[in-house]
Amino acid sequence: MRARAGSGTVAAIPEGHTIHRIAKDHTKLLVGRPVAVSSPQGRFQPSAALVDGVVLDRIEPYGKHLFYSWANGHVGHVHLGLFGRFRVHLGPEPPEPIGMVRMRMSTDAATVDLSGPTACEILTKAERNVIVARLGPDPLRRDAKPSVVVERVQRSKQPIGAILLDQRVISGLGNVYRAEALFLNGIHPRRPGNELHAAEVEALWSTSVAMLRRGVKDNRIITVHHLEDDRPGRTRLTKRGTATYVYHRDRCVRCGTAVETADLGGRPCYFCPVCQPA
DNA sequence: ATACCATGAACAG
DNA sequence: TGTTCCTGGTATC
């Protein structure tokens, strides 16, 4: 099942690019007007009433988090986790909810249904700030300072493969982008952070910025553009429309070596033992 | 009908 | 480190 442009269905599990893309798309549909907020499934019910009918001022993405600034001062917080997804229905008529819809936001332009989130709650601005304060720089934000990432990586003895999933160090990367960022820079995922050169961490940052920006544009993860030696069309897309060098590959797309995995940060980190020597 | 799997993260101990 | 929660598509009986 493929997400169609404009109809807003996001089937893939989200990393930071998904969150920024959602913020962008949903801003056009919801921001600047009163929004009917409800919880067909019920779990968000008492909180929904706090913002039901209130004007939505802004949707702000930060790493894998979404913050909703409501005109009455409340701040909505959504984190999709592994299973969360939005469905968008264009038009003034809210249709029957599909599946378990935790939160529904409707305007006369569209209805946005949220299911399966790890977090869906109403916060104060102070609580929002606490969440943001514990996040590392987000490569998709203009206010991000990569020097913070360099410092935090070099202070850690953890393997870089685990560090890149730590949202306190850098926010927005998930299991796909960490593998691809390490691959593109020829870095073995088990190398300890404190043994990386500053230039290497800066390169990981630049790669992340480029990949995530491209991911927002494509609304999916296609990393194989990022090497000059990759001829266009050489690499076939998966059923989901994604394409990676090592993530979930049997063989390295560049050199054909069997891809290995290392359990890092509680999930398998795919890498090419030839392109990413220890 | 049931099992299993997935690109996340909080929490307990 | 292990456990738990969130959902739904696909595979397997």
Find which nucleotide's C1' atom is closest to A102's CA: C6
| Predicted local distance difference test score (pLDDT) of residue A225 | 82
pLDDT means per 10 residues, chain A with 278 residues, are 31 87 96 96 93 97 96 96 93 91 95 94 94 95 95 94 94 95 96 96 96 93 76 65 88 92 90 95
Residue A233 near residue A250, CB atoms below 8 Å: no
Say if residue A264 is in the same domain as residue A207: yes
Residue A17 near residue A216, CB atoms below 8 Å: yes
| Predicted local distance difference test score (pLDDT) of residue A237 | 73
Q: Is A121 a catalytic residue?
A: no
Say if residue A178 is in the same domain as residue A62: no
Report, in ranges, which bases of strand B sit under 7 Å from a protein C-beta: 6-10
Q: Is A14 a catalytic residue?
A: yes
Residue A87 sits in a domain whose CATH number is 3.20.190.10
Strand C within 7 A of A115 CB: yes
Query: How far: A25 CA to B1 C1' (Å)?
Result: 39
CA atoms of A207 and A254, how far apart (whole Å)? 17
Say if residue A84 is in the same domain as residue A158: no
Residue A12 near residue A18, CB atoms below 8 Å: yes
| Predicted local distance difference test score (pLDDT) of residue A7 | 32
CA atoms of A113 and A61, how far apart (whole Å)? 18
| Predicted local distance difference test score (pLDDT) of residue A162 | 94
How far out from the chain centre does Cα A206 lie? Answer: 17
Strand C within 7 A of A9 CB: no
Say if residue A248 is in the same domain as residue A175: yes
- pTM for the full predicted model: 0.93
Question: Which residues does residue A171 pair with via DSSP β-bridges, in sequence order?
Answer: none
| Predicted local distance difference test score (pLDDT) of residue A189 | 95
Q: Domain tally for chain A?
A: 2
**Of residues A21, A40, A61, A64, which has the active-site annotation?**
A64
Relative to beta strand A260-264, strand A119-123 is: unpaired
Strand C within 7 A of A42 CB: no
- Burial category of A142 from C-beta neighbours within 10 Å (exposed 0-12, middle 13-18, buried 19 and up): exposed
Residue A208 inside a domain? The answer is yes
Residue with tokens 């988090």: A65
Query: How far: A53 CA to C11 C1' (Å)?
Result: 44
Question: Which residues does residue A262 pair with via DSSP β-bridges, in sequence order?
Answer: A269
Q: Secondary structure of chain A: what % helix, strand, coil (to 5)?
A: 30, 20, 50
Other residues' Cβ atoms within 10 Å of the Cβ of residue A125:
11
Say if residue A32 is in the same domain as residue A113: yes
CA atoms of A129 and A50, how far apart (whole Å)? 20
Query: How far: A152 CA to B13 C1' (Å)?
Result: 27
Taking the C1' atom of C2, which residue's CA lies nearest?
A: A266
Question: Which residues does residue A60 pair with via DSSP β-bridges, in sequence order?
Answer: A67
Residue A240 inside a domain? The answer is yes
Report, in ranges, which bases of strand C sit under 7 Å from a protein C-beta: 1-3, 5-10
Residue A2 inside a domain? The answer is no
| Predicted local distance difference test score (pLDDT) of residue A84 | 94
Find which nucleotide's C1' atom is closest to A63's CA: B8
| Predicted local distance difference test score (pLDDT) of residue A10 | 37
Say if residue A83 is in the same domain as residue A179: no
**Cβ-proximal residues to A266 (8 Å cutoff; 6+ apart), any chain:** none
The Cβ-side half-sphere exposure at A273, using a 13 Å CA radius, reads 7
Query: How far: A230 CA to C3 C1' (Å)?
Result: 42
Residue A253 near residue A245, CB atoms below 8 Å: yes
By three-state DSSP, how is residue A33 classified?
coil
Q: Which of A133, A160, A193 is the last residue of a domain?
A: A133
Domain enclosing residue A199, as ranges: 146-271
Secondary structure of A84-127 as H, E, C letters: CEEEEEECCCCCCCCCCCCEEEECCCEEEEEECCCEEEEECHHH
